[in-house]
Amino acid sequence: MRWVTVVGALLVATLVVEVVVFVLVAQWIGLAWALGIALATTLLGGWLLRREGVRAWRRFRDAVQAGRPPGRPATDGVVGLAGALMLTAPGFVSDVVGLVLLLPPSRRLAGGAVQRVVERRMSPALAGDIFGPRRVRARRGPTTSRNTAPDQVRTGDNSAETSRPKSADALPAAIEGEVLPPADEPGTR
């Protein structure tokens, strides 16, 4: 029930901010112009909502039919729909947020954020099926031998910390690494 209170408080705060900004804009440019702009952005949002919905569905369907992971087109579609929906809401602050979400650079950033949130809430195998294979960068860590005590750790470079000679029965103690974005994503290494 606590989240309901938080969401309710956020909605009330958003409504207050929208009313204050609308009054300020109406005082600055006039009530008729403010109403006209608000109506125009609502109509634009309605048109974009339909366009983005059809576009998102088409890209999702094409990815599935081609055997590609559908996660990226789906997150891009969700962000586009959210931006168009923000434009349909009355108010200038929501219009600005909606327009920002429709711009390609911010859309990419928001889509990446949506993807990270979704990936955290599902199993790695399912995330791989939806968003494609993950690349992993790993480096060799210390190893332990099956014949050594757990506290006797060897480094992989034969340094002075080596407790026994290397053997075929050495087990990795840990693999350190990080998950990298797919190679086709901007900003990859």
Structure confidence by residue, pLDDT tens digits, 1-58: 788 888 889 999 999 999 999 999 999 999 999 999 999 999 999 999 999 989 999 9
pLDDT digits 0-9 by tens, 43-60: 999 999 999 989 999 998
Q: Which residues contact 189 (CB under 8 A, 6 or more apart)?
A: 180
Closest CA to 128 of 77, 175, 71, 63: 71
Segment 84-93 mean pLDDT: 91
Q: Which two tokens stand for residue 155?
A: 């480094």
Separation of alpha carbons 164 and 157, rounded Å: 13
Band of residue 146 on the pLDDT scale cut at 50, 70, 90: low
Check: CB of residue 155 under 8 Å from CB of residue 142. Answer: yes
Band of residue 160 on the pLDDT scale cut at 50, 70, 90: very low
Separation of alpha carbons 2 and 160, rounded Å: 56
The answer on pLDDT for 179 being more than 70 is: no
pLDDT given for residue 184 in this prediction: 57
E-state strands within 96-174: 135-140, 143-145, 170-172
Domain residue extents for the chain: 2-131
The answer on pLDDT for 63 being more than 50 is: yes
